[in-house]
Amino acid sequence: MSENIEKIKCLIIGSGPAGYTAAIYAARADMNPVMYTGLQMGGQLTTTTEVDNFPGYANGTDGPAMMEDLKNQAERFGTEVRFGMVTDVNLSSVIGGIHNITVDGSKKIQANTVIISTGATAKYLGLESEQRLIGGGVSACATCDGFFYKGQDVVVIGAGDTAAEEATYLANICNNVSILVRKDYMRASKAMQHRVNKTENIHVLYNTELDEVLGDKVVEGVRVVNNISGVKHEIPVTGLFIAIGHKPNTELFKDVLDMDDTGYLITRGKSTKTNLPGVFAAGDVQDKEYRQAVTAAGTGCMAALDAERYLGTIA
């Protein structure tokens, strides 16, 4: 029975910038990493068309191409990249203990170290027109895509800190920014609301919800509805930014790893260590603050170095 169980030094779960960077470092440190990509190989960046803010791409690149580059780089040093979903974990709480992992419901793996880089998923409203136009004017990341709407009119949906931050960011680039808030108040911090309110080209529409995104191939406008009067009207815009929150992909680790009250994994001090020895977290799964490809890559590097040092202490 035991011969069916694969034993590895380093398992990486998730294939975004954090996972691939961890893989590059772990492979170069002779840890023979195995990565399971998850269903969305390449992670959130594969839904972004152009990436202009990742250092090293002087002329920009597109999300899928960048993730392919990262994959090739990880494989060049010997990372085994496998398509598959981790479906169950039984993590050890003992220093030097073995972490038992199940992939796709049946394959069993025993790992000395586990790097979790499962990312976070942006929440969307779920309208058909919204889903169809993702990448065609609908985005969930102003820092990634805002630049392409320079001098244009855009709409942001949401009323939390992310929406306020995205709107203020976009206001510096765009002509006009309308924020759709479904209640009659914003839940963003007072400081963020203050910034929103004093920015001249931001207009907050309270009690207002999205009814439809207009446009066939690209966004040409939005139809909104006042949820008190029921009155609908159209706003001509080229960009729609959904900022209604992110959900960290941490269901597998519930009641196993320490998380904050919104489900993000908690890492210790200036490290990627979780509360269990040999288990590390990198990228958006442990970061609701910065959420950038480059910061995710940075913590991926840290996770591999932390894992390498840990292996050194238990050898």
Binding residues (CB under 6 A) for ligand NDP: these are 125, 157-163, 165, 182-183, 187, 244-246, 288
CB of residue 249 to ligand NDP, shortest distance in Å: 15
**Do residues 157 and 138 lie in contact, with contact meaning Cβ atoms separated by under 8 Å?**
no
Beta carbon nearer to ligand NDP, 95 or 266? 266
Beta carbon nearer to ligand NDP, 136 or 160? 160
DSSP state of 188: S
Closest listed residue to residue 147, CA positions, set 226, 49, 74: 49
Comparing every residue's Cβ against ligand NDP, the nearest one is 160
Q: Name the pairing type of β-strands 86-90 and 99-103.
A: antiparallel
CB of residue 140 to ligand NDP, shortest distance in Å: 10
CB of residue 208 to ligand NDP, shortest distance in Å: 9
Beta carbon nearer to ligand NDP, 28 or 288? 288
Sign of the C-alpha dihedral computed for residues 42, 47, 49 and 55 taken in this order: negative
Closest listed residue to residue 250, CA positions, set 271, 232, 274: 274
Would you call 10 a catalytic residue per the annotation?
Answer: no
Beta carbon nearer to ligand NDP, 91 or 157? 157
Q: Which of 10, 104, 141, 211 is catalytic?
A: 141
Q: Which of 10, 145, 174, 284 is catalytic?
A: 145
Would you call 306 a catalytic residue per the annotation?
Answer: no
Q: Name the pairing type of β-strands 232-235 and 221-226.
A: antiparallel
Beta carbon nearer to ligand NDP, 161 or 284? 161
CB of residue 151 to ligand NDP, shortest distance in Å: 25
Hey, what are 305's tokens?
Answer: 């170095």
Q: Which of 144, 284, 287, 306 is catalytic?
A: 144
Closest listed residue to residue 109, CA positions, set 14, 251, 2: 2
* String of DSSP letters for 110-170: EEEEEEE---EEE-----HHHHHTBTTTEES-HHHHGGGGTTSEEEEE--SHHHHHHHHHH
Instruction: State how far Cα 77 lies from the chain centre.
Output: 25
CB of residue 179 to ligand NDP, shortest distance in Å: 10
DSSP strands (E only) in 39-127: 80-82, 86-90, 99-103, 107-116, 120-122
Would you call 287 a catalytic residue per the annotation?
Answer: no
CB of residue 187 to ligand NDP, shortest distance in Å: 4
Type of residue numbered 108? K
Hey, what are 51's tokens?
Answer: 């990436």
Beta carbon nearer to ligand NDP, 158 or 278? 158
Give me the active site residues, please: 141, 144-145
